[in-house]
A and B are shown apart, each in its own frame.
Chain A
Amino acid sequence: MLKAMRGDRGGQALLVLLIITLIVVPVLNLGLPTTHPWHVSTYAVTLLGKYLCYALLAMAVDLIWGYLGLLSLGHGAFFALGGYAMGLYLMRQIGDRGVYGNPVLPDFMVFLNWDRLPWFWQGFDWFAVALFMALFVPAMLAYGFGYLAFRSRVTGVYLSIITQALTYALMLAFFRNEMGFGGNNGLTDFKDLLGFSLQSDVTRIGLFIASGLALIGGYLSCRIIVTSRLGRVTVAIRDAESRVRFIGYRVERVKTAIFTFSALLAGLAGALYVPQVGIINPGEFSPINSIEIVIWVAVGGRTTLYGAVIGALLVNYGKSLFTAVFPDAWLFALGGLFVLVTLLLPRGLAGLGRSREIN
């Protein structure tokens, strides 16, 4: 693990910063009275936790875009699927505290006059099952999709477009009430997680720390992959796919493996995201969300995993700031960011500080 971090200055700095934040923020939130000038509000903690989930998602995209050359415009789908798996668990925890007070069925099913729980909701009463599904479902979808796509050598723009179509189709599907995932409204009104109330500060801090740990774990595992032999093959595929194939590597297997792992990370990010924001709805599948993830990575700088993290944090902070102060200008800013970054900063912010060591 230490070997993986060797020579990765940016990554080392990022991890140190992350660990410090994970210690300092909870102390400032729980240890200080709300009137103290150094107090960090629970709102800010939740916002930070949300950003950390986005950062993990951005890293998942960077892993396949930066190192494998696959521009996925559908990673939001894996994120949302992870979120829905966690959402199902949180819905089951509501029990009879819903508006209709039905001990078995969630409110929206009572509203739709369903008489029993659909089969795919079974088992989500257990946290472990939900967490497993939050990783397993996105990973399986990515595996099946990747297996088909990479076997038939769908690459480049075509892959981007069909990943976009994938998330679009899923969005349309989840909008349907018949799917059994709450339709348009999605899943919301969550009460508690593992017995802890979602409203309490302690749970919020717990989720924040969990997101931070997931990001650190995700970062380390991505570093291990990219510094391993597998990682070198991955980069080789990005740069000269045919040559790697002619040498004798099974390109499609490498691609499928990395793509699946990336989807798994995205699913984990989604599972951590949903309890913090308190809602998951089909809007998370919308193609624009997936494209936004790509711009986080582009701003931060791809092919540097820490760049993706920086990009996600910065762009989302900017979004929160902008939408509060000039709500109308946000799309101008985001659109301008897309254009300027691709034209002027092809290697992102991380590229500014680096010499021309790579490429």
Chain B
Amino acid sequence: MSLFCFHNRSFVLTKGAFIFWLLAGIFFNESQAASLEELLPQLAERTFPAKQAALDSLATSNDERVPAILTALAQGELYLRSVNPIIVIGQPSTPGNLRLIDPLTQRDLGEVGASSSKKITLNNKMRTTLRLALAVWHLNDANPTIRLAAAREMLGENNPTVLQALQNQLARESVVAVRNILVIALALPQLTADDAVNRLKAISVLANNLYPEARNALVPLAESDPDPSVKSAAVKALSSIDRQLTWSNRLETLFFGLSLGSVLVLAAIGLAITFGVMGVINMAHGELIMIGAYTTYLVQTALPSWLDYSILLAIPAAFIVSALFGILIERTVIRFLYGRPLETLLATFGISLILQQLVRTFISAQNVVVQNPGWMSGAWPINPALALTYSRLYILIFALAVFVALLLVLRRTNLGLAVRAVSQNRAMARAMGVRSARVDVLTFGLGSGVAGVAGVALSQLTNVGPNMGQAYIIDSFMVVVFGGVGNLWGTLVAGLSLGVANKIMEPWAGAVLAKILVLVFIILFIQKRPRGLFPPRGRAAEG
């Protein structure tokens, strides 16, 4: 019984697991060692059939030490030591060297040159056996994610041992997702059953799931099953699966489009404030995004052990750093150029070059690596054909949150009131006592800070390097102009719809051509509606 409990442990090769096997080796040596110690050397037999026989016996053994050995074998880390020949696990340590471990006792056998040991070779049949054996072990794992992956691995297997293992696991499985896939794995072989009733039953189980294995297995039945009722059921099941697959693909395209759109919105929304509200063309906006991304990098580097949370800290940090840079730019350059948009454009372009070169000189000309925190990696499986990556999902939500926050700032705060007043009629606002110079600084700081926050989000999706800002500046301007200058809602709608349009066109046009088509579309659109999707109305339109 105690053995059974140990079966439920994870066999991932970690330090802890090694200690565990070490203990297991001490406690169970007497009862188990004999068979394993006889079997293991047989893996080094000369012929593949002999090795296969040894592997088959190993796979059915319930010795605790077997999974580690099989894992090493699958990863090509099992060796025959030349001197005093025993089978060892060899892990690459320094280049050209191996650290040898005795798989039976877990003893460290020291470091040797890679050439002094011979790798245990495999053929395809052995690989299949190995894969299944490991999957059967993992099927019983304590971690449901590993159980799920193992069950997924066994879809379409027709091996009686495997099916027995699946049956056993189904009997004791409590997690619904794993149960579902076990049912499917058990139904799949039934599609080729002799009895038409069994086939029909299997079809009804498989009818509404989207695993490619299930669809592939249904195809021959739909084409040429001797029993007409089975055939028609298979045809129906197939068409229902295909319909769902089409929808999954559409949803996936929509998700990728919205994700790209959220990036565009994030990049453009700071610009919508400085360009739209203040009429200032800030060509250094992309570089403010870059500064935000580099701030993320610096925060992560400063707090290496807080990887999961440092990104949350990076959001306010990037806002402040980019806002300060923005304020500096406003105070030293832009305030002398109000009312001369073309000159502002040139001066801020100069600033963007300086900022890029600053990063190259003081940090690195190469891209830097920004880590994804653990909770942002991985994907949310909606169904077998559709999984939403968490990083993209969070960034989409984050973009919407930033949008709402900005909308609230502009609509509900005193600063927002002053900003709107100055943007509508500067002279009148001043006459009413609004300190327009101060409002300019704060607005520019706000827009720049939002660019920095966008940089935090972008650092999770793309490369962080000195040139990253340039990649976004044209797209951001396009979004703002397309949406209608001075209109945050316009920016949101324009960004999301351009993102979706891009992703819809990508499958048949290719990524680059899709981008070109979007650009050409906007160029033509501006000819038709020079003031964007949502042009300003009333008095603001006169400006």
Query: Which A residues lie at the B interface, using CB under 8 A?
Result: 71, 148-149, 151-154, 156-158, 160-162, 164-166, 168-169, 172-173, 175-176, 287-288, 291, 294-295, 298, 328, 331-332, 334-339, 341-343, 346
Contact = CB atoms under 8 A, between A and B. Distances in A.
B526 A154 contact: yes
19 contacts: A149-B526, A151-B527, A152-B530, A154-B526, A154-B527, A164-B474, A165-B523, A169-B515, A169-B516, A169-B520, A169-B523, A331-B353, A335-B354, A339-B351, A339-B354, A341-B346, A342-B344, A343-B333, A343-B336
Interface stretch (B234-242, B248-256, B307-315, B355-363): B355-363
Contacts of B344: 342
Contact of B347 (A148, A172, A173, A343): A343
Given A334-B350, A339-B347, A165 B527 contact: no
A352 to B, nearest CB: 18
A346 to B, nearest CB: 7
A160 B470 CA distance: 16
A287 B343 CA distance: 17
A312 to B, nearest CB: 16
B477 interface: yes
A156 B526 contact: no
A166 B474 CA distance: 10
Contacts of B345: 71, 157, 160
Contacts of B516: 169, 172-173
B437 interface: no
A338 B361 contact: no
Given A157-B345, A172-B516, A328-B361, A162 B353 contact: no
Contacts of B281: 157, 160
Contacts of A176: 512-513
Given A165-B474, A332-B357, A346-B343, A152 B352 contact: no
A162 B524 CA distance: 9
B346 A165 contact: no
Nearest to B284: A335
B346 A298 contact: yes
B39 interface: no
A166 B526 CA distance: 12
A148 B529 CA distance: 11
A83 B491 CA distance: 37
Given A176-B512, A331-B354, A339-B333, A157 B349 contact: no
Contacts of A339: 333, 347, 350-351, 354
B528 interface: yes
Contacts of A160: 281, 342, 345
Nearest to A71: B342
Interface string B294-316: 00000000000000000000000
Contact of A328 (B333, B360, B478, B513): B360
B524 A335 contact: no
Contacts of B519: 165-166, 168-169, 172
Please report whether the interface of chain B is mostly helix, strand, loop or mixed according to DSSP. helix
B44 interface: no
A158 B526 contact: yes
Contacts of B520: 169
B526 A338 contact: no
Given A152-B527, A158-B481, A338-B350, A172 B512 contact: yes
Q: Most chain-B Cβ atoms within 10 A of its Cβ — which of A149, A153, A335?
A: A335
Given A158-B481, A165-B478, A334 B524 contact: no
Contacts of A338: 346-347, 349-351, 353
Given A165-B478, A168-B519, A287-B474, A335 B527 contact: no
Contact of B527 (A148, A164, A346): A148
A351 B352 CA distance: 26
Contact of B357 (A161, A173, A291, A328): A328
A287 B526 CA distance: 19
A104 B526 CA distance: 43
A336 B351 CA distance: 7
B122 interface: no
Contacts of A332: 353-354, 357
Given A160-B342, A168-B474, A294-B346, A331 B351 contact: no
B3 interface: no
Contacts of A165: 474, 477-478, 519, 522-523
Contacts of B347: 338-339, 342-343
A297 to B, nearest CB: 10
B337 interface: yes
A161 B346 contact: no
Contacts of B477: 161, 164-165
B341 interface: yes
Contacts of A154: 526-527, 530
A173 B523 CA distance: 15
Contacts of B527: 148-149, 151-152, 154
Contacts of A288: 470
Contact of A331 (B336, B337, B357): B357
Interface string B503-522: 00000000011011001101
Contacts of B356: 331
Given A71-B345, A335-B354, A339-B354, 16 more contacts: A152-B526, A152-B527, A157-B341, A158-B526, A161-B477, A162-B523, A165-B523, A166-B523, A173-B512, A328-B361, A331-B354, A332-B357, A335-B351, A335-B352, A338-B351, A343-B347
Nearest to A175: B512
Nearest to A166: B523
B484 to A, nearest CB: 12
A156 B342 contact: yes
Contacts of B481: 158, 161-162
A338 B470 CA distance: 17
A173 B524 CA distance: 17
Contact of B342 (A151, A157, A164, A331): A157
Nearest to B279: A157
Q: Most chain-A Cβ atoms within 10 A of its Cβ — which of B346, B354, B474?
A: B346
Interface in B148-206: none
Contacts of B353: 331-332, 334-335, 338
Nearest to B513: A176
Contacts of A152: 526-528, 530
B417 to A, nearest CB: 26
A151 B528 CA distance: 10
B361 A342 contact: no
Contacts of B336: 343
A333 to B, nearest CB: 9
Contacts of A328: 357, 360-361
Contacts of A334: 350, 353
A151 B342 CA distance: 21
Contacts of B474: 164-165, 168, 287
A175 B515 CA distance: 13
A68 to B, nearest CB: 13
Nearest to A298: B346
A156 B357 CA distance: 29
